Amino acid sequence: MDVIVAGDRAGLVKAKDALGPGRLALVPTMGALHEGHRSLMRLAREHADHVAVSIFVNPLQFGPNEDFSRYPRTFDVDLDVCADEGVGLVFAPSAEEMYPPGSQVAVSSGEMGKNVEGAFRPGHFDGVLTVVLKLFNLVQPDVAVFGQKDAQQLALIRRMVADLNVPVSIVGAPTLREADGLALSSRNRYLSPADRMTALSISKALRAGAAQTTPSKILAAAKAVLDAGANLDPPLAVDYVELVDPRTFTAVDDTHRGEGLLVVAAKVGTTRLIDNTPIPPTP
């Protein structure tokens, strides 16, 4: 069956009618779809009768000096990917549709939205939560699937759904990686072969950290790999490496007993990459 493309609320109503009854799963994306997105679509299919994908590069979640205007846009290829994955509906609204003049009320991501990634991208998570809540209200899915690759985003969406009583089930999906460990990302297409070699320091640092047992050793091992990355050509420029509590995204120390999450953000040239790995509780 062909993918039905909707660009506004009226189109969505018609498209959902055409899909027919059954549970609907939504996979929100910014397009430039890759295998990681495909894995989310497949997981969505396991949870619902119909899969919808939204494609929207959300201006609200980009800072003034970030890559909004040069973010990759590959709509026609994305549609083929969706058709290939059996997606029934693609929602691709314009910025004007999502943010008509006069919009001013938004979602606040609270303290968790200011930690770690939020400290480097002020306002980012407010923009993410605002667009995700709008997408939920427009598409009205039963289930929505998000990647663990953006772990703080996933944790905040779970928080928003709980705190604001949003009637949707959230499913988290594991991070898909290249054979050499690089996490798939739409931004990887900016990387030259040399950049890509440097970028591998990130997943290598996560693996080195995860092989250790205490928070201080985990951090030290990850930092050692990232420091080595800073001496490569091109160099890795680390924004942060932290071991956090995955429920709050606050840093943990050696007294911490529960689950941890080792998180990294770093730039290679002008390309900023993020990655993370779960750390099981200390025995």
Evaluate whether 90 touches 6 at the Cβ level (below 8 Å): yes
Residue with tokens 């490569």: 232
Q: Does 36 bind ligand AMP (CB under 6 A)?
A: yes
Q: Does 200 bind ligand AMP (CB under 6 A)?
A: no
Residue with Cβ nearer ligand AMP (130 or 175): 175
Is 256 in the active site?
A: no
| 140 marked as binding residue | no
Q: Tell me which stretch binds ligand AMP (CB under 6 A): 114-122, 146-154, 199-207, 250-258.
A: 146-154
Residue with Cβ nearer ligand AMP (62 or 99): 62
Q: Does 30 bind ligand AMP (CB under 6 A)?
A: yes
- Here the tokens at position 146 are 């998000």
| 196 marked as binding residue | no
Taking residue 171's Cβ as centre, other Cβ atoms within 10 Å add up to 18
Q: Does 37 bind ligand AMP (CB under 6 A)?
A: yes
Q: Does 203 bind ligand AMP (CB under 6 A)?
A: no
The residues near 134 (Cβ < 8 Å, ≥ 6 apart) are 98
3-state secondary structure of 240: strand
Q: Which amino acid is at 121?
A: R
Evaluate whether 36 touches 149 at the Cβ level (below 8 Å): yes
Q: Tell me which stretch binds ligand AMP (CB under 6 A): 12-20, 90-98, 108-116, 172-180.
A: 172-180
| Per-residue contact flags (x/-) with ligand AMP for residues 39 to 78, judged by CB under 6 A | xx--------------------------------------
Facing residues of 4 across strands?
89
Biggest distance spanned by C-alpha atoms of the chain = 57
Whole-angstrom Cα Rg for the chain = 19
Q: Does 185 bind ligand AMP (CB under 6 A)?
A: yes
Cα 81 from Cα 94, distance rounded (Å): 20
Residue with Cβ nearer ligand AMP (39 or 109): 39
Chain contacts with ligand AMP (rule: CB under 6 A): 29-30, 36-37, 39-40, 146-147, 149-150, 173, 175-176, 183-186
